[in-house]
Amino acid sequence: MFTHLVGGISSAGRALPGRALTIARAAGPYLWDDEGRRYIDTALGFGGTVLGHAHPAVTAACERALRDGPLPAFAHRAEEAAAAALAARAGPLTRVAFTNSGSEAVHLACRVARAVTGRSRVAKMAAGYDGWYDEQALGNAGSAEARPFGNARPDNGRMVLLRHNDEADTEALFAERPDIAAVIVEPVLANAGCIPARAGYLEHLQETARRHGALLVADEVLMGFRLGPGLAAHRFGLDPDLATVGKAIGSGIAVAAVLGRPDVMAALEDGRAARAGTYSGNPLACAAVLATLSELERQDYPAFLERGEGVRGAVVAAFAAAGTQVSTTGFGSVFTVWPGPVPPADYAAALAAADPAFTARLHGAMRERGVLLMPFPFGRIYLSFAHGEADIAATAEALAASAQAMAGSAGA
């Protein structure tokens, strides 16, 4: 019983259906609960541990930083080193400002864009998740504002929505609003269920924004460094002015950053855009970034993604064998499972396909069999480099048994 912690959790995303679950420790691809039971983890800190939990190199680096003092208040050597390591993997985005969370990074990127352009509004995707701050939370997946809209475009004064995968709506937005400072886009609409961009959509979005004097911000807090040792936007042929990163760059340590072109990030140096943060770029965070990026350079991303594609195939095959059709969207390192044979191509289709009861039952069935999944309709299955062949096989076996159990209970 939790008496003092509100709701027994510190983030709404940790709420689980069924019996309470409290984690005692984590290592590699595994979590152990208070009763000592081990689980294969596919939530992975909501994608924040691409190397796996408590990676030895990251842990050792953080221990050294902790012993040397975690909060000196003044500049320290690791800040520039960590910034240089990120910049080396971000193409022309060679200037870095550290923050503590992805939400904070998006907030800062918006501030920079407004300062550079002199404009007030920022556009984001309906159902895109760009943080939980009041301004950026407009239109998050599952909200009333994110639902397909007509002429009454949702707008909270500082943020305005546009429809993902809809070129005509992009053109309409800029025809309606001459004050757009920037457009924020996830290269994949990850928090709405890993919905991919249609061919040509991202290029059109970038070209239209530039034509109207707006900046393009790639929100890579979730997808960055998951498809390769760099930004997903660059892999998809984009050339953003700013990017926000987090999660995977710190292997479970709280750290995020804004990356940008020198001419854009100059707004943070000349005072046009204010920034602060007692813990921003602290030694522990910078140590985690340096160790993580060094380890990611040594990883075999193609093999990693191939293993994940095997799990995607196992999901579909398991349910097909049980007489049920499901589909997936995403990539081998992060994907979403949908009831039904046709994966959604936009948020309207995702909203129609979302089935909370199905997702909760799948979570419960897999949990009984030693695998932890996010229990939400737009949730993702994440894999890490620590998930070996035995873990993949055990997950596939659990999927097969869970699909049969779910089919049996549905027919009872």
Residues marked active site are found at 129, 219, 247
d(CA 301, CA 141): 29
Structure tokens that stand for 163 in this block: 């429809």
Residue pair 246/186 in contact by the 8 Å Cβ criterion: no
Nearest to 275 by CA among 250, 298, 293, 258: 258
Residue type for 50, please? V
